[in-house]
Amino acid sequence: MIDEMDALVLTGPGAFEVRRVPIPTPEPDEVLCKVRAVAICGSDPEIIRGERAGIWPPAYPFIPGHEWAGEVVAVGGAIHGFRVGDRVAGQAHKGCGFCDECLAGRYNLCKNYGKPGTGHRHYGFVNNGAYAQYNAYSPKSLTPITNEVGFREAALIDTAGGAMHAMKLTGVTLGGTVVVIGPGPIGIIAMRAAKFLGASRVIVVGRGERLQTASRLGADAVVNFETDEPVSAIRSLTGGTGVNEAFECSGAKGSLCQAVEMVRRGGRIGLVGIPDEAIREEIPFRYVVSNEITICGSRANPNVSGPILSLLAGGVLKLRDLITHVFPLSEFRSAFETFIERRDGALKVVIEPNGACE
């Protein structure tokens, strides 16, 4: 193999460049992967701009990126179960493996977060990530993908996983009605997932071109919050009773309170969107108690990559049509601006560090 690779390197808050860097050498318990596709995530701008510098990333220089798929090109001496040539999709979180949260399967809540000596990894946030031609990973953060699933589509399992994890926490009522607030990529996936998990009707709340996209891609009804008061509209669409589940996928101020008022008695709310740290919500405390409303926070995508890949392979879940733009790594700046500015209806923007793939 060659010794160097191209990588997107953050050199400081808001400063980045594509440069040649050494290819990582995998530890005995790691595999080296060739990154074929990596999608820009909604959390990447925060990292690239340095809004949480010192945490995400912990220091500079740093290579971000965490929604990716590729193939194994080398394995450490202690690796079992993965071989050179395996096609894999990654996830960002890898827990320490021994704290009580990890032992309970909640490695996304690992108590040793950010302590690399314990084995914890958060690729693309705390540890170098996938905006590069190669990176070394723990096999615990990898899921094998079959030939039926392309690399571009497999790179979106992290996005899909956020929605699926929330739905595992709340459940979806068989034959019920769901509202999704925020028709971005996660919201559209949540809309589709709610349907195959048993909802008979999915309503999407949003605005603009993305709301139109949600309508075109399968929403049973849409509510434009710029022209209609969302809570009243949802109540009207459900005969006054409200929805069974609400999934907040925008992180916007005021949307949690709206979700509370949209669900029926005994309703459940899954919080998927990540709000700004300054946002505080005053929820109707008595209303929540009196109506037995469940509110579930949801972090990342633990334990759902395998099922999502099976759904993709079986044609039950479709993600390919959410990929609106594809760029080589050398054109990352244009790709990033396309994503940020939502140029030409951008939803998911995919980077190909090693040339074109499917």
Q: What are the sequence ranges of the domains in the chain?
A: 4-156+319-352, 160-297
User: pLDDT value at position 2?
Assistant: 81
Q: Which of 147, 189, 132, 179 is closest to 16 using CA atoms?
A: 132
Fold of 4-156+319-352: Quinone Oxidoreductase; Chain A, domain 1 (3.90.180)
Whether the pLDDT of residue 131 is over 90: the answer is: yes
Backbone angles phi, psi at 333, to 5 degrees: -60, -45
- Give CA–CA dist 226/206, Å, rounded: 8
Cβ proximity of 340 and 40 under 8 Å: no
Whether the pLDDT of residue 31 is over 70: the answer is: yes
User: pLDDT value at position 162?
Assistant: 97
Cβ proximity of 38 and 350 under 8 Å: yes
Which residues have a Cβ under 8 Å from the Cβ of 210 and sit 6 or more positions away? Answer: 183, 184, 342, 347
Give the confidence band of 1 by pLDDT, cuts at 50, 70, 90. Answer: low
- Give CA–CA dist 254/229, Å, rounded: 12
Average pLDDT (241-257) is 97
CATH 3.20.20.80 is the classification of domain 160-297: no
The model's pLDDT over 70-83, given as tens digits with 9 standing for 90+, comes to 999 999 999 999 99
Residues in the chain: 358
Percentage of the chain modeled with pLDDT above 90:
99
Whether the pLDDT of residue 175 is over 90: the answer is: yes
Radius of gyration for the chain, computed over Cα atoms and rounded to the nearest angstrom: 20
Amino acid sitting at position 285 = F
Please state, as a whole number, how many other Cβ atoms lie within 10 Å of the Cβ of residue 29: 14
Q: How crowded is the C-beta side of 202, counted as CA atoms within 13 Å? A: 27
Arithmetic mean of pLDDT over the chain: 97
- Give CA–CA dist 202/180, Å, rounded: 7
